[in-house]
Amino acid sequence: MDNELLLAIAILAGAVIATVFERRAKAARARAEAEAARAPIRVFVKLPDSITPLERSEKYASPLDAVLYREGLGRVAGSESGVSVELTHLERGLALMKRELWRLGAPKDTMLEFTRNKVHVVESIVHLYLEPGTRYRVIKAFTDHDRDIHPVGEEWTFLRSAFVPYHSGTSWFVTFDNVEEKHIRLQGIPEEQSEVLDNLAEYLVAV
């Protein structure tokens, strides 16, 4: 058998072995991702209330557990020093927790501690992410930068936002009727709408 044939066989064998290892690596990554997806996402609620663990359980943990179970988004795992929650979906679960804790009368400085994309995050319950395609209702009236009043009960679907750092300007593009696009302008400075932007969960709720 000549050298060229031996070299060709060696190259083919190497390619086969490399393919086998690559497939095994892909399968291992897929299994790891599937296990990570099934693993609960832990969120700790830091409540500044000076109450006993029993009172905390009755006031916050039990109602929160009930709504998480009803929506299929997780469960309350404990309420000794705060409220420990295990979520099945981080973003949907966080939005639900914030709405429910606010409804239950949690203090404004209640914080949620969790990990997002391997980064440790501590976030206020009044911090709200507006999700494109989601419809929102105004639950506390506010006036925008153009001095248009947005009364309690107003509803619109959020489309997208734009931010202008130089002027601390935020633009919301929304639709009231799912046809025409409207522009809501806000400015994140104390004399304008920083109170609204920093405490959105006080002003808006997803419907």
pLDDT at residue 128 in the model:
81
Question: Which band of pLDDT confidence, cut at 50, 70 and 90, is reported for residue 42?
Answer: very high
Averaged pLDDT of the chain: 84
- List, for residues 5-32, the tens digit of each pLDDT value: 655 565 666 566 656 566 666 665 655 4
What is the C-alpha separation between 199 and 109, in angstroms, rounded? 10
The percent of residues in the chain predicted with pLDDT above 70, rounded, is 81
- List, for residues 71-121, the tens digit of each pLDDT value: 999 999 887 778 999 999 988 898 889 889 988 989 888 999 999 888 898
Residue recorded with tokens 């000549």: 2
- List, for residues 151-172, the tens digit of each pLDDT value: 999 999 999 998 877 778 899 9
**pTM recorded for the entire structure:** 0.61
DSSP string, the chain: --HHHHHHHHHHHHHHHHHHHHHHHHHHHHHHHHHHHHSPEEEEEE------HHHHIIIIIHHHHHHHHHHTSEEEEE-SSSEEEEESSHHHHHHHHHHHHHHTT--TT-EEEEEETTEEEEEETT--PPPTT-EEEESS-EE-TT--EE-TT-EEEEEEEEEEGGGTEEEEEEESSSSSEEEEEEE-STTTTHHHHHTHHHHEEE-
- List, for residues 48-65, the tens digit of each pLDDT value: 878 888 898 999 999 999
Give pairs for 154-161: CB < 8 Å, separation 24+: 155/207, 156/182, 157/133, 158/130, 158/131, 158/132, 158/133, 158/134, 159/132, 159/133, 160/132, 161/130
Stronger pLDDT, 166 or 192, i.e. the higher one: 192
Question: Which band of pLDDT confidence, cut at 50, 70 and 90, is reported for residue 35?
Answer: very low
Sign (positive/negative) of CA torsion 77, 91, 34, 70?
A: positive
* Amino acid present at 119: V
pLDDT at residue 36 in the model:
47
